Structure formats: C-alpha cells, structure tokens
C-alpha cells in the first residue's frame, strides 16, 4: 500500500491545498494530511481547529486521513512508516524553498523520506494562506480562495461580519 503525508500549516486551508489533496489522494492509496503544530508561530486557527476544518473539507475522500505533528517531519514520517511527503508547487518562488526542504529531509532521513511535488492548478496558483488572512483581516472577499464554511470561520476570527450575510 502506497502511503504519503501532506504536511503543512493550513492556516487556513485554501482551494489550492484542497486541489493538491484531491490529486494526491488519487495517486496514493492513503494520504495523511498532517498539520504542523509550530510553537514558534502564532496561528490564526489552533491545531485542533485546523484538523476539524480539514476533516470536514475532506469528508468525501475516504482515503484521506487528517492528523497533526510537532517537531521534525522526518521523525513523524518514521513513526508512521511513511516514505513520501507531498507538497504543492505554485511558482518558481516556491521551488527554491521547497527544494531545500525536500533535500534536507532526504539527507536527514538517510534517504527514507522523499518528496513528490504536484504543480498547483493554474486557477489556484496565486493563492496563499497568508494572502487569505490579510484580505480577510481588511474585510475583503475570500470566497474565491477558501471553501464557504472556512471563509465564515476566518471572518469570525477577525470579528468581521460577512458581506451579504
């Protein structure tokens, strides 16, 4: 059985992430989407909230499981006996950062963890969680960036009443 982990912050989950999740779940027998519990960052959503959001958004994908991790990805992958990490590439700007992480993980794991990249669908290539947070914080429209239920939760975090709702 081919299993893979898709690690990330998912703060918040965007249509770009969902696109990668759908496509990776069609390639692997099981995909574990795992939220990084990064104690150095002050996230918009807690890990528990992000896990719940991901669970709801992936309800229709039976081979997708949602989890979270702290510390190094290679340690988490070893514990779960997973040898493939999935990441999305939007543009050349992502490439340098992702290449460095992928190579570091490969060396650190003694070649036990490889990374498979999916190129983000063009319609989502401009999306980023930080962009979504910024737009929402100023009351802008994020309906084209995140699922509707996520948009509601993001606006709630900023104490913003949704337009037309």
* Tokens at 100, concatenated: 């460095």
Residues 6+ apart with CB under 8 A from 145: 14, 15, 127, 131, 132, 135, 151
Nearer CB in complex with ligand PNS: 25/105: 105
Nearest 5°: the CA angle 20, 22, 23 is: 65
Residues 6+ apart with CB under 8 A from 131: 145
Nearer CB in complex with ligand PNS: 72/135: 72
Whose CA is closest to 162, among 144, 133, 140?
Answer: 140
143 is catalytic: no
Of 5, 31, 36, 145, the residue at the interface with ligand PNS (CB under 6 A) is: 36
Residue 152: how many other CB atoms lie within 10 Å: 12
Our finding on whether 8 is near ligand PNS (CB under 6 A) is: yes
x/- track of binding to ligand PNS for residues 87-106 (CB under 6 A): --------------x--xx-
Nearer CB in complex with ligand PNS: 118/160: 118
Q: Of these residues, 17, 50, 87, 133, which one is catalytic?
A: 17
Binding to ligand PNS (CB under 6 A): which residues in 70-89? 72-73
Our finding on whether 7 is near ligand PNS (CB under 6 A) is: yes
Cβ-contact 59, 22 below 8 angstroms: no
Binding footprint of ligand PNS on the chain (CB under 6 A): 7-9, 36, 72-73, 101, 104-105
Indicate which residues carry an active-site annotation: 17, 41, 90, 129
């Amino acid at each position: 059985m081919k299993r893979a982990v898709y690690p990330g912050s998912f703060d918040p989950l965007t249509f770009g992430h969902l696109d990668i999740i759908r496509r990776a779940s069609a390639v692997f027998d099981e995909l574990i989407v795992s939220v990084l519990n990064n104690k150095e960052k002050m996230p918009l959503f807690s890990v528990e909230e992000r896990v719940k959001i991901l669970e709801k958004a992936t309800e229709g994908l039976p081979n997708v499981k949602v989890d979270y991790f702290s510390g190094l990805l290679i340690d988490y992958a070893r514990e779960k006996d997973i040898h493939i990490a999935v990441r999305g590439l939007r543009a050349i700007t992502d490439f340098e950062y992702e290449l460095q992480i992928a190579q570091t993980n490969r060396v650190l794991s003694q070649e036990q963890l490889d990374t498979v990249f999916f190129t983000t669908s063009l319609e989502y290539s401009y999306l980023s969680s930080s962009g979504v947070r910024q737009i929402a914080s100023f009351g802008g429209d994020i309906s084209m960036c995140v699922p509707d239920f996520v948009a509601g939760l993001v606006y709630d975090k900023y104490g913003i009443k949704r337009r037309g709702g």
